[in-house]
Structure 1
Amino acid sequence: MGKSRIRKPRHLTALAAAALAFGVLAGTGTSAQAATAQGYVNGWDWEDDDWADEGLVSTTHHSNSGAAGLWQFVLWADGYLTEADVDCKFGPKTEAATKKWQARFLGASQADGVVGNKTFGAASQRLGRTAWSGNATMTYGSKTLGRSLTDGSYFFQTNYTNGFVVANYNSAANCR
């Protein structure tokens, strides 16, 4: 048997507590499905392949959306953007940061500035789960985000958002 991927939580984070209080996290999951058909970045089961079936996010695809914000969250966690840059708008600065991220994690030949299943998939291999008992508190690097157990949707919050942002492909609700 391989080692368990579930890490015991050291404490309940504010993100998980707030999400639970708002009823965002509840229920059980099913098998993974392509998220663009559902309208948001989602995942089930083990987190390291959650994002491998995602749609496109770029300056021309879902450029003003919670999905773009989630990608910016990844770039912030990896040091390619600042927290203030997470505004759910995939513009030239996010595109340049994406190319640098892709060159590092996928190789220079893959650095096209478009986030699709290969780029999202590589990022999802860096996801971790810190709690899984009635809620899903996830980490990407040193940053905390959430995943709903009801529908698998990912959500996050920064000091610059207006509450939780669902990684929706067609909405930038709660973004600046």
Structure 2
Amino acid sequence: MNKNIRRKTSRRVTALAAAALAFGIAAGPATTAQAATAHGAVEGWGSHKDDWADEGLLSTTKHAHSGATGLWQLVLWQDGYLAESDVDCKFGPKTQAATKRWQRDRLGAAEADGVVGNKTFGEASKNIWTTDNGFSIRYGYIYIGRHVTSGEYFFHTSYTAGFVKASYTSAANCR
């Protein structure tokens, strides 16, 4: 990893840790994975590996401008299907096309419908991992967080205005 990437990653870890300490946010385990759009946000409990396997739909018509869409775009960015600057919390044609490519590559052509549901989110959650200290959760090279009491996920990129809650109904701090 080159020095610039290490330096950026180090700054993000520090920022995430500071926010977590200030707001009581951590990646700590609780019970079993439970989430849906009715809960208002992408959330999970217990093992982070199955947190996203029961999430609601994201598409050009379902939760198309939301923090949950931003979290999905972060997955697409980290997996090489979007640029970081494309993480804008808007599920438009570019995100739909990237989602179809991601689904085709990971789930097969028959599953490539451009709609993010349980199967797609569940497949992505297999690539979530915790850091050595067990405090932070990562997808690719980006640190994401999970609130210690609500289980709600949040994230930050260079293009967001602070931390973004992975809400189905709000896109606060997104562009």
**TM-score (normalised: structure 1):** 0.87
**Structure-2 residue corresponding to 1:3:** none
- Is structure 2 residue 115 aligned with structure 1 residue 114? yes
> 2: CA distance between counterparts of 1:105 and 1:157?
25
- Output the amino acid matched with 2:88: D
Aligned residues: 164
User: What amino acid maps onto 1:144 in structure 2?
Assistant: Y
What is the CA distance between 1:24 and its match in structure 2?
Answer: 4.1
Structure 2, unmatched stretches of 5+, are 1-9
Secondary structure of the 1:144 match is strand
Q: Among the aligned pairs, what percent are the same residue?
A: 61
Once the two structures are superposed, the pairs formed by residues 13-92 of structure 1 within 5 Å of their partners are: 13-25=13-25, 29-92=30-93
Higher helix share: 2
Q: Deviations over 1:50-74 (max 9, x none)?
A: 1000000000000000000000000
Match of 1:158 in 2: 157
SS of aligned partner of 1:128: strand
SS for the counterpart of 1:146 is: strand
2:125 aligned residue: 124
- 1:97 to partner: Cα distance: 0.2
1:170 and 2:169 correspond: yes
Alpha-carbon offset, residue 150 of structure 1: 1.1
Are 1:15 and 1:145, in contact at CA under 8 Å, matched by a contact in 2? no
Aligned ranges for residues 129-144 of structure 1 at < 5 Å? 129-130=130-131, 131-132=133-134, 136-144=135-143
DSSP-derived class of the 1:115 partner: coil
- What is the root-mean-square deviation in Å for CA atoms of aligned residues? 2.0
TM-score (norm 2): 0.87
CA distance in structure 2 between the aligned counterparts of 1:103 and 1:24, rounded to whole angstroms: 38
Superposed displacement of residue 19, structure 1: 2.1
Counterpart CA distance in 2 for 1:138 and 1:59 is: 28
Q: Which amino acid aligns with 2:105?
A: R
Distance 2:89 2:14 in 1: 22
Which aligned runs of 4 or more in structure 1 are off by greater than 4 angstroms? Answer: none
Amino acid in the other structure paired with 2:65: N
Gaps of at least 5 residues in structure 1 are 1-9
